Structure 1
Amino acid sequence: MAIDISDISDTIQRRTISFYAVLLFLVAPLWSAVPLAWAFVIYALHTGKFWSYSFLGLNLFAVAFLEVLFSVYHFHLTRQLSGPPPNGHGSISEIQVAFERILKAGLANLPPDGYDEETLDNERPGSPEEDIVQLEHDDHRAMDFRNTLRTWFGRRPWSSVRLYEVRQWIYWSIFNKNLPELEDLPHAHRAVLDDTVELLQKRLGKRIPEGSDVSCRPILLNLDNATVLWRPFAFYAFTFVTNLCLDHWYQRSHGFFRGNHDGLEYLVRIPKNWKASRDSRPVVFLHGLGLGLFQYHNFLSHMVQESADRPLLIILQPHISQNIFHPRYLAPMPRKQTTKTLASLLAAFGWADLETNSSSLNTSEDEVNNTLDIQSRRRSGVTILSHSNGSYCHAWMLKDYPHMVTRSCFVDPVTFCGWEGDVCRNFFYKTCYTGTELLVRYFVGTELGVVNLLQRNFDWSSNSLWYEEIPNARDPSKTLFLLGEKDSIIAPSRVKLYLRSHGIRKGLWCDPNGRHGQALLSGGEGCKVVYEWLKEREC
């Protein structure tokens, strides 16, 4: 009888020396700057010594007083996150379709190495074609699914998970609300909940025991209390000034133009002699969470040189760049507005058609010839290169305007297998054990703008990208995936398994020692792979 991996407790980890080094020399000094500023200001005013300070002392007091004022402003902004989430998930029908996809993922009985890309005839292999049937409790597909699903319940052994907590998780994921008493549920909601539980139990291979176990409380991302840790005004000011200087540097030194298209800010460079009909397609770069241009400067400056003959569009996202001074810092664009605005911007540049021209029926010969003449003078479509959180926006474009995206490059994508819970748990809930994990948690995972985006404006069904939604997913010249085997945010083994199970081989590049973000480090192997892929001849 096979061992049930869903009931095996995870290995207990110990904190490394790097954790304590980062805590002592980076996190603690930054975190303590605010309470120290408060203590100094209160002491100076309470004792009256403020009036006797030297010039240096007065300057120090002014800096501390500024930190105090900023901390009050930061607290005010944080309070705005304490209410209910402003946006619900997508439509119920869309979410039910997404749930069916989740339940079908991994149902195909594949050989250990998945499908062979070279001999694969089916364009859409694997789970999307499967039926949800009752599995046996010892079926390896059921055990794997139970082991994956328990991530949403604190990685507790699946045998300890109870029906009440599962209903809580399902209700949140569909309706973005806390589960009320069952007798208070609207009839339609109760029907959806019961149907989903029934399908889930088939996939799990066993019934979920009645009752409740508070130790297995589920992750309810949009509803759980958000943890925001302060950081000093000096940190935000440094980030703001650095990005501002880089912004101007790209404009002065590399011919970029800074624009704002219906609220979407960007930097764009279009070479003077570039022509859509003969030259390489434009590249759209979607960055991830962190420090904006400052974080990606080495990669971008090198890409500007490597791709000097093609247009480059950098989408600026202040809400995930720690730009607390920006008016849209706590008001990120939702999916539909983002894709509509970005699509209209690409159309305005003449890089892609806003609407598809798939039908030529009832079209006169002159109109056909005119259309062919226009197409001969321009090549429609762009290459999108996304990193980490940028893969969500990348996924939105593929869902809403797939005809505008000719090539796709995903680096450390968080959009795949998000339904398995690893990204959510690793980023917000898991205890930090290494220096890298603590760096990510403090500098990104507890930052106000990031928390607002991911814990108050997160739509898991929109942010989940499926194989069948990616044009030319198995063509390595048109679609490239880069993963790091030691990524502590995503579960690279699960993402790789999902992609490989759908026949993706040559377009999947994995760094055995790579961590999250390492693929875009200047001079690294990942950068070389991306640069070479961008140079490949396009058809």
Structure 2
Amino acid sequence: MLVGQSTAEYVLTRAFIYFGSYLGLICLVYFYLALSIGGVAAIASPISIFIEVIGAIEILFYLCWFLPYRHYLHKQRAAFPRPLTCEERKELVDMILAVTPDTELFVRKWMCGASLGDLRRENLKEWLLWALFDSSAPPGDDDEELEGYVTEIEERLGTAIKPGWGPAKSLRMNFDKFTVTHRTLLYYFAIGIVDLVTSIALLISGFSFYRQPRAAFIRSFPFRPFTLLAPNESAAPNISHFYRPHTSKTHRSIVFIHGVGVGLFPFLPLLRNLPKEIGIVAIELLPISSRITTAMPLAEDLKREIGDIVAQHDVKDFVLVANSYGTLLTRQFLESAFLASKLHSIVMIDPLSVLLHLPDMAYKLTKRTPAEANELQLWWVAQTEPDIAFTLSRRFCWREHVIWKEDLIGGNVTLIIGGRDCVVNSEAIAAYVTTDESKLGTNDAAHGNLRWTSQDMEQWNKSVNEWKGQGLELVWLEGLDHGQAFTNKNARSKVLGIIEKYCERDTDGAGGDASEPASETSSRTSKDGAVIQEQEMFSVLSGSGQPKI
């Protein structure tokens, strides 16, 4: 949950970052000043000894853990899915250009803000090799294909791109060196306390904890006592989760996936205020929860393991509720025949996956120099946190997670986005979701003329009160930043209302009818060989072969 943009919040955020990063150095400065002013008697007092011991431990932690760990992370290579075919790459480029509101700004941001005058053909090819080929090698047999893409971009720009190399530097998340900053042991101790409080609060609220194998206890720091103590083991060895049993006959269950930060703690008010009879599977993604842990599973593995968790609890049908980074897994739900067959509706809060090809998220989470308090908090919490930075830079492939409008049409989907979101281009996403394609026209769509006006923004502002729960909808939270849908009382109430409405079985539109899912069945074999019967709902395949809900 991001702070505001006041001067006081900036000062407090900066002070917190200094304390959380340089506690050992602060203790060392104290030792020097105490010795200089008070002599041996000053540094020998009980309080001074305590501070000095803390400082010594923190300095050793920095030297013996952080520096080697940073070196280890930087040595790791990016992991990629299967390569795209030439036809798939061409289709993807056409899709990108068709829904890019400003081609010049699009290119310049992917070139880290360089002017078009500093851009050359080889710079653009270097970026295309990353975006489409998952490659950092110079062009080879694919040079002719790359030239075709560069020529198409030239046509959209309305200007020629000179040959050779220019001073522009392309943004390539999986190959660029990423920045990590130090966290003190005291900080990780605080994270452990927050994690423990979250677990206890959820257990008191009727949830059960499903741990990773007990051997994973030593692979996650701060250590989690419940990994040793909890009797229930998750069906997914890489993913722990909390589960509240479903007892309602008039509602659907919920699968919830959190975003970057400190795990499920910020979402306690949401999870605890949903009706008690609604079952909830709350997925934990530890690599983006400010912990020292194992690497994030690849998208294909996440899809399989989440399916195993859903099958473990025999969830018949559910509403997917995802926040921020969690929305990046929406595509995995749509592409899994098992998960899509049970998926009734989707609530994406602060969505990152829609229009993921735009450079805003990549630039702001990897290259932006923070200027405001909210940007500074994001820089420290996400952009430079060791495991989160590694996840974004080495375990994330944008085309595995991007969501297009065509993927969402045909089901009940709500995107909840703040008007002042500092991570994504919220206006572009809102325009993309709400644009009537019949009015846009084929020629406009083919030339990327996705635009919005003040009249559009006025209509977006009305969306909070005009939400119906039918089809693809936008809820625009004017004045709110990324994550503030959970801290603003009115916005949180609206989010709760949307989720509850989607969960209802006895209403048309958002909840559908009161019947069980259609009886057509299929099966899949889990990793232990068990055959799991699955009931197909209304998942259909689009012309591109991707599932639509």
TM-score by length of 2: 0.73
Counterpart of 2:106? 148
Distance in 2 (CA, whole Å) between partners of 1:154 and 1:18 is 30
Residue 171 of structure 1 deviates from its aligned partner by 1.1
Partner AA of 1:238 in structure 2? A
Distance in 1 (CA, whole Å) between partners of 2:61 and 2:490 is 39
Residue 130 of structure 2, aligned match among 172, 175, 183:
172
**Structure 1 residue 454 and structure 2 residue 420: aligned?**
no
Counterpart of 2:214? none
Structure 1 residues 63 and 99, CA, compared in 2 at 3 Å: closer, same or farther?
Answer: farther
Counterpart of 2:428? 494
Distance in 1 (CA, whole Å) between partners of 2:494 and 2:134 is 42
Tell me if the contact between 1:412 and 1:484 (Cα under 8 Å) persists in the aligned partners.
Answer: yes
CA RMSD across the alignment: 3.1
Counterpart of 1:300? 271
Residue 81 of structure 1, aligned match among 65, 73, 83:
73
Partner AA of 1:493 in structure 2? E
Residue 22 of structure 1 deviates from its aligned partner by 4.1
Distance in 2 (CA, whole Å) between partners of 1:244 and 1:98 is 46
Give unmatched runs, 5+ long, in structure 1: 1-14, 108-126, 128-140, 352-379
**Structure 1 residue 534 and structure 2 residue 534: aligned?**
no
Counterpart of 1:225? 177
Partner AA of 1:165 in structure 2? N
Map 1:282-431 → 2, pairs under 5 A = 282-302=253-273, 306-324=274-292, 329-351=293-315, 380-401=316-337, 402-431=340-369
Partner AA of 1:261 in structure 2? A
Residue 243 of structure 1 deviates from its aligned partner by 0.8
Give unmatched runs, 5+ long, in structure 2: 212-233, 438-459, 468-472, 505-510, 513-549
Structure 1 residues 343 and 479, CA, compared in 2 at 3 Å: closer, same or farther?
Answer: same
Residue 150 of structure 1 deviates from its aligned partner by 1.7
Instruction: Provide Cα deviations, 1:298-350, integer angstroms capped at 9, x if missing partner.
Output: 33322xxx3211100110111111122xxxx2411111111111112212322
Tell me if the contact between 2:120 and 2:166 (Cα under 8 Å) persists in the aligned partners.
Answer: yes
**Structure 1 residue 29 and structure 2 residue 24: aligned?**
no
**Structure 1 residue 467 and structure 2 residue 405: aligned?**
yes
Residue 253 of structure 1 deviates from its aligned partner by 3.8
Distance in 1 (CA, whole Å) between partners of 2:397 and 2:303 is 15
Distance in 2 (CA, whole Å) between partners of 1:196 and 1:76 is 41
Structure 1 residues 225 and 461, CA, compared in 2 at 3 Å: closer, same or farther?
Answer: same
Counterpart of 1:520? 486
Instruction: Provide Cα deviations, 1:108-152, integer angstroms capped at 9, x if missing partner.
Output: xxxxxxxxxxxxxxxxxxx7xxxxxxxxxxxxx8x8222222210
Partner AA of 1:415 in structure 2? S
SS class of match (2:210): strand
Tell me if the contact between 2:89 and 2:132 (Cα under 8 Å) persists in the aligned partners.
Answer: no
Distance in 1 (CA, whole Å) between partners of 2:383 and 2:432 is 26
Distance in 1 (CA, whole Å) between partners of 2:42 and 2:8 is 44
Partner AA of 2:254 in structure 1? V
Residue 50 of structure 1 deviates from its aligned partner by 11
Instruction: Provide Cα deviations, 1:55-102, integer angstroms capped at 9, x if missing partner.
Output: 333322322222123223122221112125241254222x86366334
Distance in 1 (CA, whole Å) between partners of 2:376 and 2:486 is 20
Residue 38 of structure 1 deviates from its aligned partner by 5.5
Counterpart of 1:269? 244
Runs of 4+, deviation exceeding 4 Å: 37-45, 48-52, 502-506
Distance in 2 (CA, whole Å) between partners of 1:66 and 1:296 is 33
Distance in 2 (CA, whole Å) between partners of 1:89 and 1:422 is 23
Partner AA of 1:394 in structure 2? T
Residue 289 of structure 1 deviates from its aligned partner by 0.2
- With 147-156 and 260-269 compared, the bigger mean Cα shift is at 147-156
SS class of match (1:519): coil
Structure 1 residues 452 and 340, CA, compared in 2 at 3 Å: closer, same or farther?
Answer: same
Residue 245 of structure 1, aligned match among 194, 197, 207:
197
Residue 383 of structure 1 deviates from its aligned partner by 0.7
SS class of match (1:384): strand
Distance in 2 (CA, whole Å) between partners of 1:52 and 1:533 is 58
- With 397-406 and 500-509 compared, the bigger mean Cα shift is at 500-509
Distance in 2 (CA, whole Å) between partners of 1:535 and 1:410 is 15
SS class of match (1:520): coil
Counterpart of 1:511? 477
Structure 1 residues 408 and 50, CA, compared in 2 at 3 Å: closer, same or farther?
Answer: farther
SS class of match (1:254): coil
Counterpart of 2:210? 258
Residue 245 of structure 1 deviates from its aligned partner by 2.5
SS class of match (1:468): helix
Structure 1 residues 422 and 308, CA, compared in 2 at 3 Å: closer, same or farther?
Answer: same
Residue 28 of structure 1 deviates from its aligned partner by 2.7
Map 1:5-154 → 2, pairs under 5 A = 17=7, 20-22=10-12, 24-37=14-27, 53-71=44-62, 72-93=64-85, 97=88, 100-105=91-96, 107=98, 144-154=102-112
Residue 159 of structure 1 deviates from its aligned partner by 4.1
Distance in 1 (CA, whole Å) between partners of 2:42 and 2:491 is 59
Structure 1 residues 429 and 440, CA, compared in 2 at 3 Å: closer, same or farther?
Answer: same
Distance in 1 (CA, whole Å) between partners of 2:317 and 2:90 is 31
Counterpart of 1:371? none
Partner AA of 1:429 in structure 2? K
Residue 470 of structure 1 deviates from its aligned partner by 2.4
Instruction: Provide Cα deviations, 1:465-488, integer angstroms capped at 9, x if missing partner.
Output: 112222635xxxx21110111111
Counterpart of 1:363? none
Tell me if the contact between 2:270 and 2:492 (Cα under 8 Å) persists in the aligned partners.
Answer: no
Distance in 2 (CA, whole Å) between partners of 1:531 and 1:482 is 12
Tell me if the contact between 2:290 and 2:381 (Cα under 8 Å) persists in the aligned partners.
Answer: no
Partner AA of 1:284 in structure 2? V
Instruction: Provide Cα deviations, 1:346-400, integer angstroms capped at 9, x if missing partner.
Output: 123222xxxxxxxxxxxxxxxxxxxxxxxxxxxx421100000001112221223
Q: Percent identity?
A: 18
Counterpart of 1:366? none
Residue 54 of structure 1 deviates from its aligned partner by 3.5
Structure 1 residues 161 and 323, CA, compared in 2 at 3 Å: closer, same or farther?
Answer: same
SS class of match (1:217): coil
TM-score by length of 1: 0.75
Residue 268 of structure 1 deviates from its aligned partner by 0.2
Structure 1 residues 301 and 193, CA, compared in 2 at 3 Å: closer, same or farther?
Answer: same
Tell me if the contact between 2:24 and 2:56 (Cα under 8 Å) persists in the aligned partners.
Answer: no
- With 249-258 and 146-155 compared, the bigger mean Cα shift is at 249-258
Residue 258 of structure 1 deviates from its aligned partner by 2.8
Distance in 2 (CA, whole Å) between partners of 1:178 and 1:519 is 39
